[in-house]
Amino acid sequence: MSYHRAPWPATRMRRMRKDDFSRRLMRENTLTVDDLIYPVFVLDGEQRTEAVPSMPGVERKSIDLLVEEARELADLGVPAMALFPVTPAEVKSLDAAEAWNPEGLAQRATRAIKAAVPHMGVITDVALDPFTTHGQDGILDDDGYVLNEATVTALVKQALSHADAGADMVAPSDMMDGRIGAIRQALEEQGHTLTRIMAYSAKYASAYYGPFRDAVGSAANLGKADKTTYQMDPANSDEALHEIGLDLAEGADVVMVKPGMPYLDVVRRVKDEFRVPVYAYQVSGEYAMHMAAFQNGWLDQDKVMMESLLAFKRAGADGILTYFAKAAAVKLAGRG
């Protein structure tokens, strides 16, 4: 950039850092509760909770308890929750048909939350991995390759079932080609013209997802397989711009970069290039690393949590999916 400031000592950069008032007046980015989305794991049954060992402080919860959580989050001003179902093993299948069951976990949870807390935004995950016996995000051919068109057909059914249940925003996280356009067309044809699409457009084949797969119960199904034939290579960022451009052209309202902090350079590039709503996901592995350091006393929990979230804003993220959302909202409200 061109530089027009007078040299030192006429310019002393530390002057504006001297006092709290001037630091506040020159602050470029601010984190607020409006930036936060809380991912939650949905269990079958009633009055049930299960701890996620690899994610200290995170619990899987039954729908009735999630409704209570939605009320607490609404009181704190958190605008939205993202639902991830823990699918019972007995209903998993090769074709993932449980994904579009109108009485499935995600569908029932959506209806319950919207009935109890209508103004809470409900975001649903559109992907097949929680519902397949093999843990992949799609329908496989005989060689184990994920078939694109067959998977998109299934994803459309799933997205429509979520919209029918009252989801405010569907979030395809599968990384199939063309699925945003197919889902948008189906939503329009079925009268869901205001259902938003948050596209996981730049979702990388990352090693940071391990605790999440434990949480939703897909890790054992996936085994030692990986998702490199459809999720992005961590080496690439130009490719992310192509993916996002395609999803926007197909009708995405919001685009997502995942994981978060290791990919903030991608968030910045996307925001600079497209100037659209860009979200990022502070994923399970990021959360687990932070929590391990906090529990060992190596890092200050409140300060590092808030600094990590502010980093997303500085990089250009408009929304942050984070397991710290509730704790951060408490902190921002001055209650903790």
Residues marked as catalytic:
203, 258
User: In the chain, what is the greatest distance between 2 CA atoms, to the nearest angstrom?
Assistant: 72
| Structure tokens, 118 | 């209508």
Q: Which amino acid is at 256?
A: M
d(CA 103, CA 161): 9
Where do we find the tokens 């807390």? Answer: 117
Q: Among candidates 91, 33, 41, which has minimal Cα distance to 65?
A: 41
Contact 38, 72 (CB under 8 A): no
Q: Is the peptide bond before 9 cis (omega within 30 degrees of 0)?
A: yes
Q: Is the peptide bond before 56 cis (omega within 30 degrees of 0)?
A: no
